[in-house]
Amino acid sequence: MRSIAIISHTPHYHNNNGEVVGLEPTLREINQLLSIFDFIYHVAPLYKSDPHKATIPYKSNKVKFIPIIPTGGETFIKKIGIIFYMPYNLYIIIKIIRQVEWIHFRAPTNLGVFVLPLLSLFVGKNKWVKYAGNWQQESIPISYKFQRWWLRKNLQNGNVIINGNKKKLQSHLIPFHNPCLTEKEIITNKKFGLIKTFDKKLTFCFVGRLEESKGFLILLEAVKGLSNIKWINKLHFVGETMESEFNDNFNYSDNIQIIYHGILNRQGIDQVYRDSHFIILPSYSEGFPKVLIEASSFGCIPIVSPISSIIKHINSKKKNGIILDDISCKSIIKTIEGLNEMRNELTIFSSNAMENAKQFSYEQYNRKIVNEIIKN
- Taking CA atoms, 301 is separated from 16, 45, 46, 265, in Å, by 38, 35, 36, 22
Give counts: helices (H), strands (E), the chain: 13, 16
Question: pLDDT tens across 72-121, in order?
Answer: 766 666 667 678 899 999 999 999 999 999 999 999 998 999 999 999 99
Q: According to the model, what pLDDT value does residue 227 have?
A: 85
Alpha-carbon span 137 to 139, nearest angstrom: 6
- Name the strands in the sheet holding 257-262, side by side, starting at the edge strand that comes first in the sequence: 257-262, 232-238, 202-207, 278-281, 301-304, 322-323
Q: 205 and 232 in contact (C-beta within 8 Å)?
A: no
Cα separation, 353 vs 155, in Å, equals: 38
Query: How far is Cα of residue 92 from the mean position of the Cα atoms in its chain?
Result: 27
Q: Mind listing the domains of the chain with CATH numbers? A: 3-179+361-374 (3.40.50.2000), 183-359 (3.40.50.2000)
What residues pair up with 55 in beta bridges, in sequence order?
Answer: 23
Tell me the pLDDT of the chain averaged across its residues: 90
Chain segment 238-259, per-residue pLDDT in tens: 998 754 455 555 544 556 788 9
Q: Are 4 and 103 in contact (CB under 8 A)?
A: yes
For the residues of 292-312, what is the DSSP string, one character each? HHHHHHTTPEEEE---HHHHT
Least Cα distance to 64 among 94, 90, 101, 38 occurs for: 38
Mean pLDDT check: name the lowest of 62-66, 152-156, 165-169, 225-229.
Answer: 165-169
More confident residue, 349 or 262: 349
Give the pLDDT confidence score for residue 210 in this predicted structure. 85
Average pLDDT over residues 25-52: 96
- What DSSP designation does 209 have? -
Question: CB of 283 within 8 A of CB of 214?
Answer: yes
Ordered DSSP codes for 64-101: EEEEE-----SSHHHHHHHHHHHHHHHHHHHHHHTT-S
Strand-strand pairing, 301-304 and 278-281? parallel
Say if residue 376's pLDDT is above 70: no
Percent of the chain having pLDDT more than 70? 92
Q: Which of 191, 215, 146 minimizes the C-alpha distance to 298?
A: 191
**DSSP H helical ranges for 41-196:** 76-97, 112-119, 142-153, 183-194
Distance, CA of 151 to CA of 195 (rounded, Å): 45
Upper half-sphere CA count for residue 264 (Cβ side, 13 Å) = 19
